[in-house]
């Protein structure tokens, strides 16, 4: 039977249907079991409450019977099995996310980049808000997977090979730095779904996830450049002429040759073909038909050199690249790269492009300088731009400082726990367990006739909000001992006296010095396994159990606990 319970409790569908507060109660230690009073101490308990309070320390606890110890060990084993199953499933840690987040003294940064750059070394010694260390997790898009919920909880999984060993990690980053292209048709790698998932989870990043998603199609970015050129004018923002074809069917109009045909969305010179005549153009159109994507054409510029203006935060750099091998693609073959002075004209280009899509913290503008002496802007890049030149170490440090600054701005000092499991309904239950109220009358019992006025007011106040939630018939709640065949008829005669003692103790608490609760001393000595079943109920956190824990009549609470426990066992063994 224990094996069946372990399999049943390990079922994901069973765990998902548990009520609120289920896993929180599993973390509570089992309360110390008071030794049951002996039969000799039960007789003076009915005569005098004072002697009843002094009697248990003097009498030694009796030896439990074999059948009672067997039942106690069963409940203890079942409770331990539930806790072990929950701990192995990781559910107990999720319920204590608030305490663990408060104790966490670091912020987790996910860097999406190729492994040739060690970003862990770059962020070593950096702190957020002067007190939180930055823990870096670096991976590529191809190694990442994630899950995100609408309420804000998420988790990112990384499966990568490090030194020939497969490493699997799962974590929740506080910030993301994207240094890799999320979409490329040339490499058949489409990771836009990961960008959508991180944006769905609301993870802050550099650049923003909205801008990264917008940069997944170069014609979409070029449309923004067209809007900027129309606003500033061609003289201030000289944009190259370009024609967009959504598919091969429209590639019938012959452009002015020679032209450069760019097929789809690719990087590093891939997908770009120089066409000198209309025959070659028709051949390229047939290739576009196979790719089932869009294409663009631009007039071929006989250039002297390429220009790249980059901006990282508030730092600007301009580079000039000249082809040595004679290839019309300056990024292919041999080329000479040198840094040039940053002019106001170049600064205007990159500043206006950094305002696209809500703002770009890292961006670059690419242009060609033709032999006719004119400049032609043909592309804008985002945070995935490669670092070039002899100042790559400095550029990585600038990116590091930019990310730390953004983390200081966008991350709060107080860690926000994951709303993966709602805890609003768990707090009143935990509060009711920590604050016992020994002078309250059970809500399901009717107020005594002719009793003191003050206890009746207390009873009616506690009974009014809880009465609609009772799920038992009136006869069953009035006489809980009749529905329990295992209980002897002794507690039935003690319940009215226990009620009267509870009322009298309430009256004494308002006039004289309050005394300890006498009700627990009147429980039958022949039922020690009820304590174990009550500890088991702490593991199975029912909705109605919080009402019984705060009541003075523990006999009736135990009877209700047994009935709830039977219902739970019936549901467990039903299938």
Q: What is the pLDDT along the chain (575 residues), one digit of tens a residue?
A: 566 666 666 565 555 555 555 555 555 555 555 555 544 444 443 444 444 444 444 444 444 444 444 445 555 555 565 555 555 544 444 445 444 544 568 999 999 999 999 999 999 999 999 999 999 999 999 999 999 999 989 999 999 988 889 999 999 999 999 999 999 987 778 999 999 999 999 999 999 999 999 999 999 999 999 999 999 999 999 999 999 999 999 998 878 999 999 999 988 888 999 999 999 999 999 999 999 999 999 999 999 999 999 999 999 999 999 988 888 887 777 889 999 999 999 999 999 999 999 999 999 999 999 999 999 999 999 999 999 999 999 999 999 999 999 999 999 876 555 444 433 334 444 343 344 444 444 444 444 444 444 444 444 444 444 444 444 444 444 444 444 444 444 444 444 443 434 343 334 333 434 444 444 444 444 444 444 444 444 544 444 444 444 444 677 777 888 888 877 777 776 65
Most distant CA pair in the chain: distance in Å? Answer: 115
Cα–Cα distances in Å, from 211 out to 71, 192, 224, 549? Answer: 64, 12, 12, 55
Would you tell me how many other CB atoms lie within 10 Å of the CB of residue 11?
11
pLDDT in the model for residue 567: 79
Q: 205-206 and 189-190: which strand pairing? A: unpaired
CA–CA gap between residue 535 and residue 531 (Å, rounded) = 6
Q: 243-245 and 295-299: which strand pairing? A: antiparallel
CA–CA gap between residue 321 and residue 94 (Å, rounded) = 53
Residues 6+ apart with CB under 8 A from 75: 529, 532, 533, 535, 536
pLDDT in the model for residue 73: 54
Write out the two tokens for 185.
């048709």
Residue 142 contacts residue 190 (beta carbons within 8 Å): no
Burial-class residue 412 by CB neighbours within 10 Å (0-12, 13-18, 19+). exposed
Bridge partners (DSSP) listed for residue 275: 259
Bridge partners (DSSP) listed for residue 506: none
CA–CA gap between residue 236 and residue 141 (Å, rounded) = 38
Residues 6+ apart with CB under 8 A from 338: 319, 320
Q: 175-178 and 205-206: which strand pairing? A: parallel
Write out the two tokens for 292.
């089932």
274-286 b/e (C-beta count within 10 Å ≥ 16 → b): ebeeeebbeebbe
- Outline where DSSP puts E strands in 35-131: 106-112, 127-128
Residue in the structure block whose two tokens are 């529905």: 483
Radius of gyration of the chain (CA): 37
Residues in the chain: 575
The torsion region of residue 572 among left (phi > 0), alpha (psi -120 to 50) and beta comes to alpha
CA–CA gap between residue 243 and residue 254 (Å, rounded) = 11
Residue in the structure block whose two tokens are 């003097």: 58
- Outline where DSSP puts E strands in 200-314: 205-206, 243-245, 259-263, 272-275, 295-299, 303-312
First-to-last C-alpha distance (Å) of the chain: 13
Residue in the structure block whose two tokens are 């510029």: 301
Write out the two tokens for 513.
């010095």
Residues 6+ apart with CB under 8 A from 200: 148, 150, 154
The closest of 564, 175, 233 to 399, measured between CA atoms, is: 175
Q: Residue 66, Cα to own-chain centre: how many angstroms?
A: 48
CA–CA gap between residue 33 and residue 64 (Å, rounded) = 13
CA–CA gap between residue 129 and residue 408 (Å, rounded) = 6
Decide: helix, strand or coil at residue 330: coil
pLDDT in the model for residue 410: 94
Query: What are the start-end ranges of the H helices in 17-58?
Result: 22-25, 39-47, 49-58
Bridge partners (DSSP) listed for residue 396: none
Residue 318 contacts residue 339 (beta carbons within 8 Å): yes
- The Cα angle at residue 128 between residues 124 and 132, in degrees rounded to 5: 80
The closest of 543, 445, 540, 457 to 500, measured between CA atoms, is: 445
- In eight-state DSSP terms, residue 154 is E
Write out the two tokens for 145.
């997977």
- Outline where DSSP puts E strands in 105-230: 106-112, 127-128, 132-139, 144-148, 154-162, 165-171, 175-178, 183-184, 189-190, 205-206
Write out the two tokens for 76.
């203890």
pLDDT in the model for residue 569: 73
Would you tell me how many other CB atoms lie within 10 Å of the CB of residue 540?
20
CA–CA gap between residue 210 and residue 114 (Å, rounded) = 22
Q: What count of Cα atoms within 13 Å lies in the side-chain half-sphere of residue 256?
A: 6
- The Cα angle at residue 245 between residues 242 and 246, in degrees rounded to 5: 135
CA–CA gap between residue 2 and residue 4 (Å, rounded) = 5
Q: Tell me the pTM.
A: 0.58
């Amino acid at each position: 039977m224990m094996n069946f319970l372990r399999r049943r409790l390990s079922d994901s569908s069973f765990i998902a249907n548990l009520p609120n507060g289920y896993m929180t109660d599993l973390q509570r230690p089992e309360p110390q079991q008071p030794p049951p009073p002996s039969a000799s101490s039960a007789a003076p308990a009915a005569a005098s409450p004072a002697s009843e309070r002094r009697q248990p320390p003097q009498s030694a606890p009796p030896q439990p019977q074999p059948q009672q110890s067997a039942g106690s060990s069963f409940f203890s084993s079942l409770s331990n099995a539930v806790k072990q199953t929950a701990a192995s499933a990781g559910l107990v840690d999720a319920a204590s996310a608030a305490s663990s987040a408060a104790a966490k003294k670091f912020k987790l940064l996910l860097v999406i980049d190729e492994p040739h750059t060690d970003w862990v070394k770059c962020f070593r010694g950096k702190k957020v808000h002067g007190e939180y260390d930055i823990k870096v997790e670096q991976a590529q898009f191809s190694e990442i997977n994630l899950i995100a919920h609408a309420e804000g909880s998420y988790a990112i999984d990384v499966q990568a090979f490090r030194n020939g060993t497969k490493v699997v990690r799962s974590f929740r980053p506080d910030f993301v730095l994207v240094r890799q292209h999320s979409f490329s048709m040339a490499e058949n790698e489409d990771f836009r779904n990961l960008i959508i998932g991180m944006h769905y989870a609301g993870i802050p990043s550099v650049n923003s996830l909205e801008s990264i998603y917008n940069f997944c199609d170069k014609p979409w970015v070029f449309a923004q450049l067209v809007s900027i050129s129309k606003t500033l004018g061609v003289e201030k923002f000289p944009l190259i002429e370009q024609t967009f074809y959504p598919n091969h069917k429209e590639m019938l109009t012959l452009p002015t040759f020679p032209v450069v045909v760019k097929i789809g969305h690719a990087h590093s010179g891939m997908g770009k073909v120089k066409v000198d005549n209309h025959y070659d153009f028709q051949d390229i159109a047939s290739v576009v038909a196979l790719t089932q994507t869009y294409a663009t054409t631009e007039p071929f510029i006989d250039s002297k050199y390429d220009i790249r203006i980059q901006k990282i935060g508030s730092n600007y750099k301009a580079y000039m690249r000249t082809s040595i091998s004679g290839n019309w693609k300056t990024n292919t073959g041999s080329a000479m790269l040198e840094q040039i002075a940053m002019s106001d004209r170049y600064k205007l280009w990159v500043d206006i492009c950094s305002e696209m899509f809500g703002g770009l913290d890292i961006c670059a503008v690419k242009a060609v300088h033709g032999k006719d002496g004119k400049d032609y802007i043909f592309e804008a890049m985002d945070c995935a731009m490669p670092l070039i030149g002899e100042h790559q170490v400095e550029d990585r440090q600038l990116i590091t400082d930019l990310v730390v600054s953004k983390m200081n701005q966008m991350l709060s000092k107080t860690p926000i726990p994951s709303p993966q499991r709602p805890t609003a309904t768990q707090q009143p239950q935990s509060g009711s367990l920590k604050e016992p109220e020994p002078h309250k009358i059970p809500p399901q019992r009717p107020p005594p006739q002719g009793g003191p006025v003050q206890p009746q007011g207390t009873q009616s106040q506690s009974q009014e909000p809880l009465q609609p939630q009772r799920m038992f018939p009136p006869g069953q709640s009035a006489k809980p001992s009749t529905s329990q065949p295992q209980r002897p008829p002794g507690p039935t005669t003690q319940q009215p006296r226990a009620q009267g003692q509870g009322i009298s103790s309430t009256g004494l608490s308002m006039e004289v010095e309050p005394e300890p609760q006498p009700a627990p001393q009147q429980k039958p000595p022949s039922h020690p396994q009820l304590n174990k079943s009550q500890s088991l109920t702490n593991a199975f956190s029912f909705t109605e159990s919080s009402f019984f824990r705060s009541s003075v009549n523990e006999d009736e609470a135990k009877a209700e606990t047994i009935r709830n426990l039977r219902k739970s066992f019936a549901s467990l063994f039903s299938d």
